[in-house]
Amino acid sequence: MKKIIIAIDGHSSTGKSTLAKQLAKALDYIYVDSGAMYRAVTLYALEQGFISDKKLDTDALISNIKNVNIEFKKQGNNPTVLFLNNKEVSSKIRGMEVSNLVSKVAALPEVRKCLVREQRRMGEQKGIVMDGRDIGTVVFPNAELKIFMTASAQTRTQRRYDELNAKDETVVFDEVYENITSRDYKDSTRADSPLTQAKDARVLDNTNLTQSQQYTIVMDWIKDLID
């Protein structure tokens, strides 16, 4: 069976990672959450004090970017636990503090250059599912399958709110809505690698789809490509 690259892009909280993980497991492919890498750089900037009062010291972050080491390691049943400079940060990067700042960090061309280089290296052997905002347009423009995921903002907010609320009951629905819609706006309008649908991407609007319906649709696309 042929090994391919599966690039999944789309709006915030459309369930890209959930789908990507299911596909990687079924196909025995590597899964890479590129958003987690941008979130890790944002956490690094916060921890180093490069962000105060929501202001990012761009020069300080760029001159220290070589000191950021991001790794996905296997831990127990989970093959993709995120480590930032040898510290496990998987849940820290999901909080609202990082979510509210990540699009600012992700707009910096110097940050993107470093992470895209790393992402391409991970895909050299194919057999990879990567999700993000620029995977089918910039990172792997020749990916055999490109999926562009979307859903209504209300549906996406409800899903993310439920996920965050399970860990932290102080989360406010309107704050999650504001975060999702403002990230979409920033990600789609930035100069470097904006979120756009690749010309050859297949659109998956999952507002009214269950996870299993969505999985069946995508697996049918994949079967046609790998057989």
Rule CB under 6 A: say whether 134 interacts with ligand CDP.
yes
- CA–CA distance, 121 with 148 (Å, rounded to integer): 23
Binding mask 54-93 for ligand CDP (x = CB under 6 A): ----------------------------------------
d(CA 175, CA 172): 5
Radius of gyration (C-alpha) of the chain in whole angstroms: 17
Determine contact, residues 164/171, Cβ cutoff 8 Å: yes
Per CB under 6 A, does 38 bind ligand CDP? yes
User: According to DSSP H, which parts of the chain are helical?
Assistant: 16-27, 34-47, 58-64, 96-106, 109-122, 153-165, 173-189, 211-226
Q: Is 132 in the site for ligand CDP (CB under 6 A)?
A: yes
Q: Is 107 exposed, middle or buried (0-12, 13-18, 19+ CB in 10 A)?
A: buried
Select from 6, 61, 133, 222 the one that contacts ligand CDP (CB under 6 A).
133
Q: Is residue 136 at the binding interface for ligand CDP, with CB under 6 A as the rule?
A: no
CA distance 92 to 43: 8
- In the complex with ligand CDP, the residue whose CB is nearer, 56 or 187, is 187
Using rule CB under 6 A, residue 39 touches ligand CDP: yes
Tell me if 149 contacts ligand CDP by CB under 6 A. Answer: no
Stretch that binds ligand CDP, among 10-18, 19-27, 84-92, 120-128 (CB under 6 A): 10-18
Q: Contact residues for ligand CDP (CB under 6 A)?
A: 12-13, 16, 34-36, 38-39, 102-103, 106, 132-135, 183, 187
